[in-house]
Chain A
Amino acid sequence: MALVLLRRLLQAVVTVAVVITLVFLIFSVIPGDYVSSLMAEKRSLDPAVAERIAAELHLNDPVPLRLGQYLVGILHGDLGLSFATQQPVTEMLGGRIWASFKLACAAMACAIVTGLPLGYIAAARQNRWIDGLAMVFAVSGLSVPGFWFGLLLMYVFSLQLGWLPTFGYGQGGIEHLILPALTLGIAPMALLARTTRAAVLETKTADFIRTARSKGMSEGRLVRKHLARNAFMLILTMIGLQFGSMMGGSVVIESLFAWPGVGSLLIQSVGLRDIPVVQGCILVIVLFFLIVNTLVDVAYLLIDPRIRYK
């Protein structure tokens, strides 16, 4: 078990290193850096000044040197300074990670609370009208553009009904959280409903369920003891995958709702070519994905003894 975990951890470290290098190369090899985007913005920028800024930001150093220094910095917990504000990137990310995490948790909660029962009901009434309706609902949820769904929610609940604020973070209260969470949760909800339905249907026809039923086990106990436990493994995978990619998936939603998270910071700094900040945001997004997935693996080992002995 420890060996499996160690292997996973090693894989995660390699993945992070490759992503960092890849993003770094994308931004350094292709022409056009922070200074040139600054010059495009302020046309009157003196070439001499531009040269000095570039030198101060070490943009003229060779790429391998800069990459090496950056990677060493990461090991010390130092993500460099923002080109635009000279603020440490770790400081800029600090508060935003919490905002994004809060949004991701709220969205996942929405998705689980609605998606799981929907999928279960659909499976229990397989091929009835309610099943069809639930699945039409699910495929629609997968097809709806999140930012458009958010606009519609904003129109109905903020502008027409006046129940909730349109956008922003406010004092961090729940009223600002509801609409972005619903918007971000719609696609995972749809996927969860489909996964739950498929998992329950698959488990329902398994041999051990038939055995349990034939030995006279009550339906309620059957569902709790056997069906739910086994179907849950498949559902957990989907929850993990969805939750893990939510930090990155929320990029568009965060900027629609002006949510001060990692995603909206990423978009701001991408426009400025503020590479240290872009790197930092992507690092957070990837780390979050890898941490969640490793946790799911650990949960597997704890829930399902069969994996432990492999």
Chain B
Amino acid sequence: MLKLLARPNLATGGAIVLIAILVAVFAPLIAPHDPITDANLMFAETAPDADFLMGTDEQGRDIFSRIVYGARIALTIGLLVELMNTIIGVALGVSAGYFGGWWDEFVQGLTNVMLAVPTIVFALALMAVLGPGILSLLIALGMTDWAYSCRISRAQVLTMKSRPFVQAARTMGYGPVHIMARELLPNIAGPLVVVATMGIGSAIMAEASLSFLGLGVVPPAPSWGSMLARAREQLIVAPWVAVFPGLAIFFTVLGFNLLGDGLRDLLDPQGRSKR
């Protein structure tokens, strides 16, 4: 416990992420109202009070309850999207580093292409074609943000593949798939976990941005981003509509970023790369 306190990033980030997960899991117990069906125009745009902790939106729905349920959407999409990105990035990066040659050239070229187009732009184009919805979001975001995990796993494999333990495995007659999956992957997992942790944060942010633009989660599902979609027009009369969903995004993304920073410091004790 004391050790944890000596690492404020890890402790704060971990705590925030844990709270977010708990809120998502126990949403029905925490939320006082239903996030979708409890609309009542009588209570539209009520300022925060004892009944509506964070006020209500233009349809009279309780913002606090919607934020609580929104955690489910944000975390599900964040985790699944990053899982997809990591699998794609690691598969491409490890194989490129291991085999080299034309495959390496090809993967590197593809990575450069992905880096030249901002993720949000690529995702935007895909969302336009696939139509809004959670499944489209998973495809659009899960296939476009793997460049970093690809680069890192390639670089790590390059430094590892001439090490004795890899050569030993090769002498023992193991095939390339076994060597990549069982020998190399466990040894490069550390840096990948850091990248993936921060990637969850950026996936949550990307989902919020697309939903804010009306190209993500379909209303009335309580996505934090789509809750902000009409906040600009209500800013004068109901500023709380704008404030609280944004805070939820901010703290959740902050949690994953801090956790990533903390894990990096933990795995890289010299702290040279403290960025």
Contacts and interface: CB of A to CB of B under 8 A. Distances in A.
A252 B120 contact: yes
A139 B124 CA distance: 26
A185 to B, nearest CB: 16
B242 A15 contact: no
A154 interface: yes
Chain B contact-residue range equals 35 or more
A270 B130 CA distance: 11
A236 interface: no
A19 B235 contact: no
Given A19-B113, A151-B242, A252 B209 contact: yes
B275 interface: yes
B129 A249 contact: no
Contacts of A2: none
B126 A26 contact: yes
A117 to B, nearest CB: 18
B124 A267 contact: yes
Interface string B206-233: 0011001101000000000100100110
B201 interface: yes
Interface in B224-275: 225, 228, 231-232, 235-236, 239, 242-243, 245-246, 249-250, 253-254, 257-258, 261, 272-275
Contacts of A32: 129, 131
Contacts of A39: none
B109 A18 contact: yes
Contacts of B129: 26-27, 30, 32
A26 B253 CA distance: 30
B242 A266 contact: no
B135 interface: no
Contacts of A146: 209
Given A143-B254, A267-B124, A270-B215, A286 B228 contact: no
Nearest to B212: A147
Contacts of B245: 148
| 6 cross-chain pairs, A with B, having the tightest CB-CB distances, nearest first | A148-B246, A248-B118, A143-B254, A270-B128, A143-B253, A198-B275
Interface of B: 109, 112-113, 116-118, 120-121, 124-131, 201, 205, 208-209, 212-213, 215, 225, 228, 231-232, 235-236, 239, 242-243, 245-246, 249-250, 253-254, 257-258, 261, 272-275
Given A167-B232, A251-B124, 14 more contacts: A15-B116, A26-B125, A144-B250, A145-B250, A148-B245, A152-B243, A201-B274, A202-B272, A251-B121, A267-B215, A270-B127, A285-B117, A286-B116, A289-B116
